[in-house]
Chains A and B, each alone.
Chain A
Amino acid sequence: MELADSELLIRITELSGENLRSCYQCGKCSASCPMTDFMDLFPRDVIKQILEGKEQVLLSETPWVCASCFSCTVRCPNEIDIAGVMEAVRQIRLREKYDRFHPSRIPLDELEGLPQIALIGCFRKMTG
């Protein structure tokens, strides 16, 4: 029996343009990810929870730890742009006026040494 797509899956599919239903949970994304030590869910689990319509996935740390390095994306045997799926999760939160990070959290003595490329990249990914 095919379950109907949840609202969450529909929204993520619209935002990412990806067909998550082609995921067969091989875990290659998670094996390729250099940031899993800092994640609460493996990338594969994020995909699984979205497929199951579990809205709690929107509160996961994982999409905010993803650095959009595209290791998962280029290795997925089903050509799912997993980095794009992570961005879709972030976008859902950011479009609710949620800011993951605020510039005031950068200690002043560190701010001066940080390259612009890091600051702008961070704010583009982490603020709404």
Chain B
Amino acid sequence: MKSITYFPGCTHHTNGRNMESSGKAVLETLGYQLEEMPEWICCGTVFGLSEDDLFHQVAPIRNLARVENAGDDKLVTMCAMCYNTLGRANLLVRKDKVALEALNRFMDDEPDYHGVVDVFHLSQFLRDEVGFEKISSKVRRPLKGLKVMPYYGCLLLRPEEVSIDSMEDPTIICDILEAVGVQSIKGSYISQCCGSYHTVDKKEAVARRAFEIISSARKKGAEMIALACPLCEFNLDDRQRLLSDNGMPVLYFTELLALAFGLEDSCDFDEHYVDPRPLLREKGLLGGSNGQE
């Protein structure tokens, strides 16, 4: 079993725990043990965009300094926002030595950071380190007949410097899901913003985004949306309670992998607003219905 250093972020221990538990179980089956990095703090959540706003880079760089100081050069996260914020801060200090020096001076209670840590999103790790063949080899129950629209949102794809795939035509989550038998549906809104943190101050606007994204998925024939960010998950799943036309199950892509690997106990489907179980049962993908459990 290989060990990989894991950055959980605030939400995968709470509202988004389904992605963490299913992702961990899936990685263990693939031969990787997630080791939570010691003394992690908030990643900063949103990347500071102002030229003089070094202060907002303290949180991500403090985390990366701690990883580097522990002797690691790789950090994996499951959260799209953590990935984007840690990744962009990392690129910033690699390019701008003056900024890095200022940050190191400011964090004089930490060992210096030198820019050696590479930040990965779990989906990249699965594509580049594990590989689709290995993923396919662990399938116990192919997710045949399930039509899923992968939804990428913003921060795994933009801006270009941190994009994990093509910005306008991403396939990474499709490819991962197809490796376990899912029929992936390509929608038109897969990389359009879910409304992000405006779910706090403009929830109607976010519900409208959810409506548009879900309607587009339905028109293309999708029965489910699979995604990779705890904020997208809340906005597309939970905000359906504000819509009269609701009922589209929204799962983390890791839950679908877990289901295919026979690890459904690692998913707590009660955590989702729209219960995916009726659809999964109808497709014969839950419990021992195909005799393989």
| A residues adjacent to B (C-beta < 8 A) | 14-17, 34-35, 37-38, 65, 67-71, 73-74, 81, 83-84, 87-88, 91, 100-101, 105-106, 110, 113-122, 124-126
Contacts and interface: CB of A to CB of B under 8 A. Distances in A.
Contacts of A74: 158-160, 167
A65 B15 CA distance: 25
Given A67-B193, A70-B158, A74-B158, A121 B50 contact: no
A117 B202 contact: no
Contact of A101 (B14, B167, B200, B205): B200
A117 B9 contact: yes
B198 A67 contact: yes
Contacts of B45: 117, 120-121, 124
Contact of B16 (A69, A114, A115): A115
Given A34-B192, A34-B193, A116-B11, A16 B51 contact: yes
Given A115-B230, A115-B234, A121-B46, A70 B154 contact: yes
B231 A118 contact: yes
Interface of A is mostly: helix
B197 A121 contact: yes
B264 interface: no
Interface of B is mostly: loop
Interface in B12-61: 14-16, 42, 44-53, 56
A36 B49 CA distance: 21
Contacts of B46: 68, 121, 124-125
Contacts of A67: 154, 193, 195-198
B166 to A, nearest CB: 11
B171 interface: no
Contacts of B223: none
15 contacts: A38-B205, A67-B196, A70-B154, A70-B158, A71-B191, A91-B53, A105-B201, A115-B230, A117-B16, A117-B45, A120-B45, A121-B46, A121-B200, A122-B201, A126-B201
B11 A117 contact: yes
Contacts of B146: none
A10 to B, nearest CB: 13
Given A68-B154, A74-B159, 11 more contacts: A15-B52, A17-B51, A35-B193, A67-B193, A68-B46, A74-B158, A101-B201, A115-B230, A116-B14, A118-B197, A120-B45
B8 to A, nearest CB: 11
B209 interface: yes
B197 A122 contact: yes
Nearest to A37: B208
B200 A119 contact: yes
Contacts of B130: none
Contact of A91 (B50, B202, B212): B50
Interface string B197-233: 1111111010011001000000000000000001100
Given A117-B11, A118-B200, A124 B159 contact: no
Nearest to A116: B10
Nearest to B52: A15
Given A34-B192, A34-B193, A125-B46, A118 B154 contact: no
Contact of B193 (A71, A91, A124, A125): A71
B165 interface: no
B81 interface: yes
Given A73-B158, A117-B11, A125 B197 contact: yes
A115 B195 contact: no
Nearest to B195: A67
A100 B202 CA distance: 12
B238 interface: yes
